[in-house]
Structures are given as structure tokens and as C-alpha cells.
Homo-oligomer: A and B are copies of this chain.
Amino acid sequence: MTLSTIPGTANTPKAAPAAIDLAHKFSLIDALWQPRVVAEMNDYQFKLARIDGDFIWHQHDVTDEAFIVVRGHLRIDLPDTAVHLRAGDMFVVPRGTPHRPSAQGEVWLMLVEPRGVANTGDAGGERTAPNDIWV
């Protein structure tokens, strides 16, 4: 064995960086309401989720949360109003704002938010998904 074949040495070839194909990543997600990380930027994460139907009302007290719809029709219920997003639309829910995502049929959703944010925010409960699972 030469030095260059020992894993973890400086001579280990690095994988060439590649683009992240979002549609392909969505196709690898096998469960609804389970956000999966596809990229990190500083202390923020880009997460993808396949969702269908109503989520629960919750809020995030310390951060805004960005939603970008890649496929389908998402309604985000807010106090006294609702926002409708179709593929190619985005919306930022301000911190401290109660909201309830409701997918009108299956939706492919990208979320951008700081690392560690729970999908159920202050509400917690059985629909809380684990964090930091990459796809």
C-alpha cells in the first residue's frame, strides 16, 4: 500500500464538486413530511420535503423560514389570511408568525432556514421530524 491509497491522507483524491439536481433529490425521498438536507450555506440549510395534506399550526420564534415550491400547490395558512404558492413561487414566513402549511395534493417543497430548526417549531409532538438527514 502506498501513501496515496490510505484513506484520509492528504493524497486521497477528492470527489469533483457537482451540481445538486433537485428533482433527482426529491425522487430519492421515500416518506412524506420528512425534510432532507441537500446543501448547507454557512449555518443555513436547504431542505427538501415531499408533503401532502395539512400540517399542524406552529411558529418559529427565533427565525424566518423560506418556502420555495418546486412542484404542486401549497397553501400556507396565516392568522386571518392564507398565501397560495405554485411551482416557481416562494414565500418567507416571518419569525413568530403562526402558520400551517397545507399541500393541495403532493407538493415538492424547498425550505431554507438555519441549521437545527424543527419542522414543528414551538408545537413539537409526533410530527416532529429528525434533523440533519441528508439525501
Contact = CB atoms under 8 A, between A and B. Distances in A.
Interface of A: 16-23, 38-42, 44, 46, 63-66, 70, 78, 81, 83-86, 88-92, 95, 112-114
Contacts of A83: 17-19
* Residue of A42, A46, A70, A83 with most chain B CB atoms under a 10 A cut-off: A42
A67 to B, nearest CB: 9
Given A39-B90, A41-B63, A46-B66, 7 more contacts: A20-B90, A22-B90, A39-B92, A40-B64, A40-B92, A41-B66, A41-B112
Q: Chain copies in the assembly?
A: 2
Contact of A89 (B19, B86, B112): B19
Nearest to A84: B19
Contact of A81 (B16, B63, B84, B114): B16
Contacts of A88: 21-23, 70
